[in-house]
């Protein structure tokens, strides 16, 4: 296997930092891996791409496959400060060498992490609870809101996705809409997707708030749970004023507001550390995941002292590995790198270039119906017809396959699977952005004939 692999990769630079000898032998035969995955890893999410990508290494904004080929990774919002960032890797290694344990002890790394994380939030958000994932964070947030208010109902936005636990399926229209099953369940109310491009209300914030108020009147909610830019729903940012108006309506009805920042947090939007700040709201509870540990399992709930007190009197919370020292060491390194490499400002700058380039592509490719988002959280809505906005779902799938052949990894989101999502590691450079745009230009020209 090693010989085959080396001869396919004659240029040692293609392999970046990873020498062939460091890749485990089990990771060197794609056919064998695919066979074993089918046999033992079920039920698994289907793999991206018709011909699955067999990755063995990552560096910065790039992934490397088993043939030594580099791909620009435009969709990995987990490797937030870059694949294999040396500061994160050495922080993980140093803490693992010293100690990893459950969270029943007084431990400096955990407490320092909670302090540093809390300091990134506006007042009064100052109490941190640590979990292993974004799903666990959302599950905990809902329990907190229900315990604190003594109510059961939750308001969510249509096509939102909040996680994979049993408690979250009923608040994730992205899941139950697709499954075509039973819908949200009796204690959940689904508010209209505040989509400025396809939505009914366009930029009319007050009318949208009236929709939220109607649901509140129907059943007094424990919480209004939302993303400030919806990822799975198709990279959709509520129009200015929508969220603030929805908060006012929800709070008027006595609900707590929960911002799910699992996808849009940690400076990705460029203008702010947290996407809710871009909408002028301060939630009662915030949930975090994905980028928080740069791919190392970690999640968090951040709330106010008042909500934390109300929750703790109602129930004790324990999570064996949530916030273990190794995960917290990774979390601390992520905060350090964000600060020292000024990645939020960088995301704003590179994201602005990327968005301008995509908007320019739209002048030449009629398949682009809408370019949207903030910072390095962008979406490109592909349509068959700009007038009707009919989604170009099949063409979008071809774009993703052709881009991969051209060395750029993209993926699709949204109710119709026609929105290219662009959420690269935050270290993406301007040169990388130019490469991505040139590739997309070529690929869109290749599929252009499907548009009318």
Residues that bind ligand PLP (CB under 6 A): 133-135, 138, 161-164, 227, 231-232, 260, 262-263, 289-290
Beta strand spans in 37-126 (E) = 55-59, 62-65, 70-73
Residue-by-residue DSSP string for 240-306 = TTHHHHHHHHHHHTT-EEEEE-TTTTTTTTSS-SSGGGGGT---SEEEE-GGGGTTSS-EEEEE-HH
Q: Which residue, 242 or 290, has its beta carbon nearer to ligand PLP?
A: 290
Q: Which residue, 131 or 149, has its beta carbon nearer to ligand PLP?
A: 131
Q: Count of alpha carbons within 13 Å of 125, Cβ hemisphere only?
A: 25
For the bound state, the minimum distance from the C-beta of residue 267 to ligand PLP, rounded and expressed in Å, comes to 16
For the bound state, the minimum distance from the C-beta of residue 230 to ligand PLP, rounded and expressed in Å, comes to 8
Distance CA 171, CA 185 (A): 9
Determine whether 33 is exposed, middle or buried from the number of CB atoms within 10 Å of its CB (0-12, 13-18, 19+): middle
Residues 6+ apart with CB under 8 A from 2: 20, 21, 25, 28
For the bound state, the minimum distance from the C-beta of residue 226 to ligand PLP, rounded and expressed in Å, comes to 10
Q: Which residue, 15 or 278, has its beta carbon nearer to ligand PLP?
A: 278
For the bound state, the minimum distance from the C-beta of residue 431 to ligand PLP, rounded and expressed in Å, comes to 29
For the bound state, the minimum distance from the C-beta of residue 161 to ligand PLP, rounded and expressed in Å, comes to 5
Residues 6+ apart with CB under 8 A from 230: 157, 159, 160, 193, 236, 237
Q: Check: CB of residue 410 under 8 Å from CB of residue 439.
A: no
Residue with tokens 């056919």: 31
Q: Which residue, 5 or 176, has its beta carbon nearer to ligand PLP?
A: 176
For the bound state, the minimum distance from the C-beta of residue 320 to ligand PLP, rounded and expressed in Å, comes to 17
Residues 6+ apart with CB under 8 A from 13: none
For the bound state, the minimum distance from the C-beta of residue 229 to ligand PLP, rounded and expressed in Å, comes to 9
Q: Which residue, 158 or 260, has its beta carbon nearer to ligand PLP?
A: 260
Q: Check: CB of residue 258 under 8 Å from CB of residue 225.
A: yes
For the bound state, the minimum distance from the C-beta of residue 388 to ligand PLP, rounded and expressed in Å, comes to 29
Q: Which residue, 144 or 395, has its beta carbon nearer to ligand PLP?
A: 144
Instruction: Say how many Å lie between the first and final Cα of the chain, rounded.
Output: 48
* 48's tokens: 């991206």
Q: Which residue, 149 or 263, has its beta carbon nearer to ligand PLP?
A: 263
Q: Which residue, 29 or 48, has its beta carbon nearer to ligand PLP?
A: 48
Which residue, 147, 149, 151, is CA-closest to 316? 147
Q: Which residue, 235 or 439, has its beta carbon nearer to ligand PLP?
A: 235
- Classify 195 as helix, strand or coil: coil
Distance CA 363, CA 412 (A): 22
For the bound state, the minimum distance from the C-beta of residue 136 to ligand PLP, rounded and expressed in Å, comes to 7
Q: Which residue is nearest to ligand PLP (CB)?
A: 134
């Amino acid at each position: 296997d090693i010989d085959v692999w080396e001869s396919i990769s004659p240029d040692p630079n293609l392999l970046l930092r990873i020498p062939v000898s460091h890749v485990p032998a089990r990771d060197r035969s794609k056919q064998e891996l695919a066979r074993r995955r089918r046999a033992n890893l079920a039920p698994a999410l289907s793999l991206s791409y018709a011909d699955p990508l067999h990755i063995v290494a990552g560096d910065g904004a790039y992934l490397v496959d088993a043939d030594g080929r580099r791909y620009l990774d435009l969709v990995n919002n987990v490797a937030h400060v870059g694949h294999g960032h040396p500061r994160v890797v050495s922080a993980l290694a140093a803490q693992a060498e010293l100690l990893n344990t459950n969270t029943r002890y007084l431990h400096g790394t955990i407490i320092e992490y909670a302090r540093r994380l809390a300091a990134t939030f506006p007042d009064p958000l100052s109490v941190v609870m640590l979990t292993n994932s974004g799903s666990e964070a959302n599950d905990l947030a809902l329990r907190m809101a229900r315990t604190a208010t003594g109510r059961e109902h939750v308001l969510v936005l249509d096509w939102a996705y909040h996680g994979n636990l049993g408690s979250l399926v009923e608040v994730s229209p992205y899941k139950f809409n697709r499954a075509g099953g039973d819908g949200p369940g009796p204690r959940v109310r689904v508010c209209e997707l505040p989509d400025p491009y396809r939505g009914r209300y366009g930029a009319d914030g007050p009318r949208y708030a009236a929709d939220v108020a109607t649901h509140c009147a129907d059943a007094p909610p424990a919480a209004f749970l939302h993303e400030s830019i919806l990822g799975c729903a198709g990279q959709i940012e509520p129009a200015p004023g929508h969220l603030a108006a929805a908060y006012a309506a929800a709070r008027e009805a006595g609900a707590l507001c929960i911002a799910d920042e699992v996808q849009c947090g940690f400076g990705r939007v460029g203008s702010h550390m947290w996407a809710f700040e871009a909408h002028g709201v301060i939630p009662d509870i915030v949930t975090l995941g994905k980028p928080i540990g740069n791919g190392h399992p970690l999640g968090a709930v951040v709330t106010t002292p008042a909500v934390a007190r109300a929750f703790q009197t109602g129930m004790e919370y324990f999570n064996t590995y949530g916030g273990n020292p190794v995960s917290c060491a990774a979390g601390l390194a992520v905060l350090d790198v964000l600060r020292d490499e000024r990645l939020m400002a960088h995301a704003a700058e590179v994201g602005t270039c990327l968005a301008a380039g995509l908007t320019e592509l739209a002048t030449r490719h009629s398949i682009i119906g809408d370019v949207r988002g903030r910072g390095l959280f962008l979406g490109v809505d592909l349509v068959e017809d700009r007038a009707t906005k009919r989604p170009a779902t099949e063409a979008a799938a071809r774009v993703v396959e052709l881009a991969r052949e051209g060395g750029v990894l993209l993926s699709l989101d949204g109710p119709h699977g026609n929105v290219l999502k662009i959420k690269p590691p935050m270290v993406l450079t301007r040169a990388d952005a130019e490469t991505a745009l040139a590739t997309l230009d070529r690929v869109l020209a290749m599929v252009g004939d499907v548009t009318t």
